[in-house]
Amino acid sequence: MKLSTLVMSSALVFASHSAVAGLSDLTKSLENQAKSVAKDVAQPTAQPAMTSGLIDMAASQFGLSPEIAQAGLGSLLKVAQDHVSKENFSMISSALPDTKQYIQSAPSIKMSGLSAMFGKSSDEAQTAASLGYLDKAFKKLGIPKETILPMAEMLTGYLEQSGYGQASSLLKQGLNFL
């Protein structure tokens, strides 16, 4: 009797180990599949993540790729943000929900320490720093600097035509130095 109990116990232990090992293998397989899916989702796609009518309009009007058009618009929004209050920029962002993504697509430009210091001291110096940033950003993107003002006008016009007159006016205020 003791022998049969021992054999039965051993069989149960073995069976439970096999089941646990099977579950462990299944869990690892599912984890690997989840990692693979997450990796695929994180990979950049050929199309920009945020294709919109505005980006398509800018790309078409200025002969740019959607990615470059988005970065150019982001550069304009980035400097406008420095020239209007937080509340006013929030109204612009409400009219243009992807504002944060536009700004994030704008190129990072190292400004000289001198221009960064002046940017905080006076309106004229801040304007000079903003113009310097736009000039360098558009150059880095391969967009002619003569396109800065027409692109800004297209952006404010787009907001106006979309029924966001107040946001358009605030953006014009933020870009009035152009």
**Non-local CB neighbours of 93 within 8 Å, separated by 6+ positions:** 99, 100
pLDDT for 112: 61
pLDDT for 24: 56
What residue ranges do the domains of the chain occupy? 53-174
pLDDT for 120: 53
Answer yes or no: are the C-beta atoms of 156 and 168 closer than 8 Å.
yes
Give the phi and the psi of residue 176 in degrees, each rounded to 5. -65, -10
Residue 162, exposed/middle/buried by CB under 10 A (0-12, 13-18, 19+)? middle
pLDDT per residue as tens digits for the range 6-17: 444 544 444 444
pLDDT for 41: 35
**Non-local CB neighbours of 125 within 8 Å, separated by 6+ positions:** 115, 118, 119
Share of the chain above pLDDT 90, in %: 58
Handedness of CA 161, 162, 168, 171 (dihedral sign): negative
For the ranges 65-74, 116-125, 168-177, the lowest mean pLDDT is seen at 116-125
Answer yes or no: are the C-beta atoms of 48 and 137 closer than 8 Å.
no
* 3-class DSSP assignment, residue 109: coil
Q: Is pLDDT larger for residue 111 or for residue 83?
A: 83
Q: Which of 93, 4, 99, 108 is nearest to 55 (CA)?
A: 99
Reported confidence tier of residue 154, pLDDT bands at 50, 70, 90: very high
Answer yes or no: are the C-beta atoms of 99 and 71 closer than 8 Å.
no
Q: What is the dihedral of CA 86, 92, 97, 98, to 10 degrees?
A: -80
Note if the pTM is more than 0.85.
no
